[in-house]
Homo-oligomer: A and B are copies of this chain.
Amino acid sequence: MGTGCDVVGIGNALVDVIASADDAFLVTHGLAKGSMALVDAAGAERLYRAMGPAVEVSGGSAANTMAGLASLGSRSAFIGRVADDQLGEVFAHDLRAAGVAFDPPAVGPGGSPTGRSLIVVTPDAQRTMSTLLGAASELGPEDVDDEVVAAAEITYLEGYLFDRPAAREAFEKAAALSHGAGRRVAVSLSDSFCVERYRSEFLSLLESGADILFANQDELCLLGGTDDPDAALTGVERYCPLVVMTRGAAGSTVVAGGQRHDVEAVPVAHVVDTTGAGDLYAAGFLHGLVAGLDPATCGRLGAMAAAEVISHVGARPETPLAALAALLLG
């Protein structure tokens, strides 16, 4: 893995298994639309059996963000765990083929299979995820490469890591390493339920020093303990110098150094699958940040990358984002 990359992401290595279904399917299977729930092997098998024909594409929140950064021309790396199996091969291939440095720890036989996220896309293009972490759940502090993290301008951590104690240790170790090297730490809240489960932990993390926070409106409100997004922004801003709140089709708001910037969403003719929208917004934003662009322009890059990914099935760009960014930046 190359040292000195722009952004290193740490997260769950997952292959997405994406199928269409109607809203009744969510009700039948007790799934909360738009959420991510962890499932065990039996639960995953039950759900998979009920799902229609599917498409497999590499996913994982932070991994998607790193693929987006590479597509934009930033140097990115990913730290996460896969098993020595076919889905692990698919995940590693797709990430490297996207231009992301990925050098996962060797694993012996007999462990958990590579993780997967069973994703149901409803006709409104919303995605509902049931994730079997598998090998991803074995990520621990020993997987965090000191050199890579210390040399990366930004270390990007997905909130989903909070679901497992060892992964949270990896998260905390990486944040400390990054700060120790005078670098910045970006955190994505990932999911409303995830914020609910770990609210106090997220708050103390912000206090101890997340430099950049990505959250959607619902997540930020939950974190701020208020129904008012503006109040939530103000509340969280005290802990974190750069807060980015996404609001879907309503755009995004960036609060940087006390200044507020509202950014419009990029209109999409036909929204197909919103999987990866937040991940790719973060990619565009971080790409701008690394390039030294102003917060509003970073937000516009994020909106552009998100628009690309929601216009097709799957959570990684199909069109080279660097070309789109060049158009946007003129």
Asked if A86 is at the interface of the complex by the 8 Å CB criterion, the answer is yes
Contact A113 B94 (CB under 8 A): no
Identify A93's interface contact among B20, B48, B87, B98, CB under 8 A: B48
A102 to chain B minimum Cβ distance, whole angstroms, is 12
Query: Does A85 touch B at the CB level, under 8 Å?
Result: yes
When the two chains form their complex, are residues B49 and A53 in contact, meaning their CB atoms are under 8 A apart?
Answer: no
Which one of B48, B53, B86, B113 lies within 8 Å of A113 (CB-CB)? B86
User: In the complex the two chains form, is A52's CB within 8 Å of B97's CB?
Assistant: yes
Q: How far is the CB of A224 from chain B (nearest CB, A)?
A: 37
The residue that A94 contacts in the complex, of B20, B54, B318, with Cβ under 8 A, is B54
Interface membership of chain A positions 51-63, coded 1 if the CB is closer than 8 angstroms to chain B and 0 otherwise: 1111111100000
Q: How far is the CB of A328 from chain B (nearest CB, A)?
A: 23
Beta-carbon contacts under 8 Å, A94-133 to B: 94, 97-98, 113-114
What is the oligomeric copy number? Answer: 2
- Among A207-245, those with CB < 8 Å from B are none
The answer to whether A58 touches B67, judged by C-beta atoms less than 8 angstroms apart, is: no
Is B67 a contact of A97 with CB atoms below 8 Å? no
User: In the bound complex, what is the Cα–Cα distance between A224 and B58 (angstroms)?
Assistant: 45
Chain A positions 13-35 with a Cβ under 8 Å from a chain B Cβ: 19-20
Please measure, in the bound complex, the distance between the C-alpha atom of A98 and the C-alpha atom of B87, giving whole angstroms: 22
Residues of B within 8 A of A19 (CB): 97
Interface residues on A, range: 20 to 34
Q: How far is the CA of A316 from the CA of B20 in the complex (A)?
A: 14
Chain B contacts of A48 at CB under 8 A? 93
Q: Does A90 have its Cβ within 8 Å of any Cβ on chain B?
A: yes
Q: Of the candidates B55, B87, B98, which one forms a contact with A55 in the assembled complex, judged by CB atoms under 8 Å apart?
A: B55
A86 vs B52: C-alpha distance when bound (angstroms): 17
Q: How far is the CA of A54 from the CA of B57 in the complex (A)?
A: 7
A295 at the B interface (CB under 8 A): no
Cα of A49 to Cα of B57 in the assembled complex, Å? 16
A83 vs B48: C-alpha distance when bound (angstroms): 19
- The reply on A314 being an interface residue by CB < 8 A is yes
Q: Which of chain B's residues have a CB closer than 8 A to the CB of A94?
A: 53-54
Q: How far is the CA of A257 from the CA of B314 in the complex (A)?
A: 48
**Is there contact, CB below 8 Å, between B86 and A67?**
no
A55 to B318, CA, bound (A): 11
Q: Which residue of B lies closest to A45 (CB)?
A: B89
- Asked if B53 contacts A97 (CB within 8 A), the reply is yes
8 extra A-B contacts, CB within 8 A, seeds A53-B93, A53-B97: A49-B93, A53-B316, A54-B90, A54-B93, A55-B314, A56-B57, A85-B86, A86-B113
A sample of 13 inter-chain contacts (CB < 8 A) reads A19-B97, A20-B318, A48-B93, A51-B93, A51-B97, A52-B98, A53-B67, A53-B94, A54-B93, A56-B56, A56-B57, A85-B85, A86-B114
Of all A-B residue pairs in the complex, the 4 with the closest CB atoms, nearest first, are A56-B56, A86-B86, A53-B94, A53-B97
Q: A residues touching B (Cβ–Cβ < 8 Å)?
A: 19-20, 48-49, 51-58, 67, 85-87, 90, 93-94, 97-98, 113-114, 314, 316, 318
